[in-house]
Amino acid sequence: MTLIADSLPRPLGGSLVWRVGGLDAAELAELPRLELGARNLADLELIATGVYSPLTGFMGEADYLGVIERMRLASGVPWSVPITLGVNREDARRYRGRVALTRAGEIVGVLDVREQYSARKSVEAREVYRTQDEAHPGVAALYAQGDVNLAGDVTLLRLDRGPFPSHHHTPRETRDAFAARGWRTVVAFQTRNPIHRAHEYLHKVALEQVDGLFLHPLVGETKSDDVPARVRMKAYEALLEHYYPGTRTLLSVYPAAMRYAGPREAVLHALSRRNYGVTHFIVGRDHAGVGNYYGTYDAQEIFSAFSREELDVEILKFEHTFYCRKCTQLVSPRTCPHDHGHHLVLSGTKVRELLRSGASLPSEFTRPEVAEVLRAAYTEK
C-alpha cells in the first residue's frame, strides 16, 4: 500500500496541511468575534483540512499580489485564485492577535492575525475574473467584501461533514482510499451541474486510461438558480448504482463555494484535486464559467502557463460532447461529421424549463434514473 501511495502526487508544498482541533473553549469565549460568510467558511475548512495546501491561513499581501499578477505564491508554488478574508476598514482595528471565527454566532475556528492590508479589488477582478462587471457573480461577491484583508494562520474547531457525511472525505482520507483500492492513477471530475450523458462519456473515456475515477461534485455555495447540491448528489447516486463499476469509482463531495472564475478557477480545481491525491483531472468546455465572460476553451488553454512538473497532475482536455441522432451515439466535433441539425444539445436553461413544465428529459441527454431524480425535485416545488 505504501508503494501505491507513493505513486500519487505529492501535495503542493510537500505535505498536507492539517489544522483541525486543539482549541480551548474557555479561551475562545474571550476573543473578539468575526462572522464568516458561506464562502469564507468553506475556505476555512479547505485550508484546515489540507485541500488548499500549502496555505495554512488566509493569504498575506505578498502571496495575494503574487497570485493576482503571476499565478504564483510568493514561494513560487503555483496558485491561481486569492484566498482572502475581507473586513470593513472601520472594523479592522478590532481584529488584532487571535480572533474567533463564527458562523451564525457559533464559534467554528480561530484566526491568528499577523497582517492587514488593502484589497486591490479592481485589479483582482480584472486579472482573476477577466472582468470588472458587477453582473458577474464572482465579481459581485468580491466587491461586497470588506476593503481590508486579514491574513494569518487558521484553526478549525472541528470538522463538520455537513449534509453528505458518508461522501465527505478529506485529502488524507482520499489518499488512503486510493491506496487501499490499489489505484496508482486516479482521474477527478468536477461539476456544479446535474450529471448527464455527456459527462458520463467523459468519465468512461478517462476511465479507460486510469485505475480509478474520483467523482467530486462541488457542494458549496452556488448561484440561486443552480440545481441544489442535494439533488445533484442524489442523481450521482442513482447513476452510480446502475452504470458505473463500483470497484473503480469513488464519489466524494468538494465542499468549496463556486467563484465562477472560469480559467483561473479551473487551475484552482486542478491543484486542489492534486492535494486529494489525483493524477489526472478532466477539463471540458467552459469549466467554472458563467454567462459569456470566457471563451469555450479558455479554461484548457490557461494550463500552458505551468510546466507539467509544477502542476504534477495531467490535464485531460475534452471538446464539447453531445448526442448525434445520425451517429446514434455520444460524439464530439472530433468524431462526428454531421451538422448541428442532427445534434441534441440542451442548455442548462432549457433543461430547467423542461423540468419546471413536467416534461421528460430525452434519454439521449440523460439516463432515465437521473431524469426521474430531477423531475421529482422540480415537481416538489
| Residue 334 annotated as catalytic | no
Give the active site residue among 193, 248, 352, 375. 193
CATH code, 21-156: 3.10.400.10
The stretch 205-218 carries a mean pLDDT of 97
CATH code, 165-379: 3.40.50.620
The string of pLDDT tens digits covering residues 296-315 is 999 999 999 999 999 999 99
Query: Which pLDDT does position 154 carry in this prediction?
Result: 98
| Residue 149 annotated as catalytic | no
The stretch 159-169 carries a mean pLDDT of 96
Query: Which pLDDT does position 2 carry in this prediction?
Result: 54
pTM greater than 0.85 (yes/no): yes
Query: Which pLDDT does position 3 carry in this prediction?
Result: 60
Q: Does residue 1 register a pLDDT over 70?
A: no
List the domain boundaries for the chain.
21-156, 165-379
Give the active site residue among 19, 39, 120, 192. 192
Residues 6+ apart with CB under 8 A from 229: 163, 164, 217, 218, 219, 220, 222, 253
Q: Do domains 21-156 and 165-379 have the same CATH topology?
A: no
CA dist 192 to 137, 211, 225, 258, 327, Å? 15, 24, 12, 8, 29
